[in-house]
Amino acid sequence: MAKVTIGIPVYNEEMFLRETIDSAVSQKFKDIEIIISDNASDDKSWEIIQEFACRDHRVKAIRQTENIGPVDNFKFCLEQAKTKYFVWLGAHDLFSKDYIDNAVKFLEENYEYVMFYPKSSLVDGNEKLLGYKDSDIDTSGLTVSKRMKKIANNLAWCTCFHGVFKIDVLRQLPVKNIRGADHLLLFSAGSFGHIHFDDRLGILRRESSGETEIQIDERRKRVGVWSEPRSKKYNSWAVLSMEHILYVLKSSEVPTFKKILLAISVANVFRKRFKVRILDNYRAYADRKN
């Protein structure tokens, strides 16, 4: 059995898909499997995937009979994996050749860490570097409460979502169809162990540097990465805030008194960063229950 699974969820990615898959099969660390789930693409993505599957036995090609949505396609890749470690690779992104090797060496030697993420950069269609985009969520030396608070406070650019996880931890983390689902997953990971940042370039991410945050949000909504809440009485950041608070209160391995203090701290982070009021959290919870 392989040690690491690289999961690649795909939907209509023919333009850069060959380069993406090639960056996976060309890893220095060879003990990998590559699970590629094509989400009923109507371009040439499936043909490209089959080409790689035919010439490399480590590539497992799966085609969905109908589009199951991006979130479920990400989850599907994880569900198929049986390895010790797992990492998602965006279908138009690239991994450096040493990325998985560096990650496995670190995680094998540092048991208290549950995830490893490297330096990343935006790139254009010709792989020209457009600038580095990383959030400081390294939790070395911090208590459970302090590392979760740091992640909530510092996480902005979520390329670290494409870090290498211990799969037994990753399977216990929430993956939801909400705005900022990657925030919630990484925040939750902090309750299980430490997260390590490696200052070597490991991920090249194709994302237009010319898009505003609003344009990025609108594009992601159109393809179903997240949906708007049913009620218009609050913004979608309140849903994310509420999910963070509920995770702290119900799931995290923190003593009760510290849970309450951490939940208050997280609510304050969302109030300062995204203007989420306490009443907004309550409405988000009521909407969730209905």
pLDDT at 224 over 60: no
Residues of the domain holding 185: 4-206
Pairwise pLDDT comparison (158 vs 73), residue with the higher score: 73
Burial zone of 262 (CB within 10 Å; 0-12 exposed, 13-18 middle, 19+ buried): buried
Statement to judge: residues 112 and 202 lie in one domain: yes
Statement to judge: residues 58 and 93 lie in one domain: yes
Residue 211 lies in a domain: no
Domain total of the chain: 2
What is the pLDDT at residue 141?
96
> What's the pTM?
0.90
CA distances from 234 to 143, 184, 254 (A): 33, 19, 29
At residue 170 the predicted structure's pLDDT band, cuts being 50, 70 and 90, is very high
What is the pLDDT at residue 209?
45
At residue 122 the predicted structure's pLDDT band, cuts being 50, 70 and 90, is confident
Over the stretch 80-106, which tens digit does the pLDDT of each residue have?
Answer: 999 999 999 999 999 999 999 999 999
At residue 290 the predicted structure's pLDDT band, cuts being 50, 70 and 90, is very low
Residue 129 lies in a domain: yes
At residue 131 the predicted structure's pLDDT band, cuts being 50, 70 and 90, is confident
pLDDT at 59 over 50: yes
At residue 157 the predicted structure's pLDDT band, cuts being 50, 70 and 90, is confident
CA atoms of 290 and 287, how far apart (whole Å): 5
Residue 169 lies in a domain: yes
Statement to judge: residues 247 and 194 lie in one domain: no
Residue 55 lies in a domain: yes
Over the stretch 28-39, which tens digit does the pLDDT of each residue have?
Answer: 999 999 999 999
Statement to judge: residues 164 and 255 lie in one domain: no
Statement to judge: residues 113 and 202 lie in one domain: yes
CATH at 171? 3.90.550.10
pLDDT at 110 over 90: yes
What is the pLDDT at residue 231?
56
Q: Under a CB-based contact definition with an 8 Å cutoff, are residues 198 and 218 in contact?
A: no
Statement to judge: residues 166 and 232 lie in one domain: no
CA atoms of 161 and 216, how far apart (whole Å): 17
**pLDDT averaged over the chain?**
89
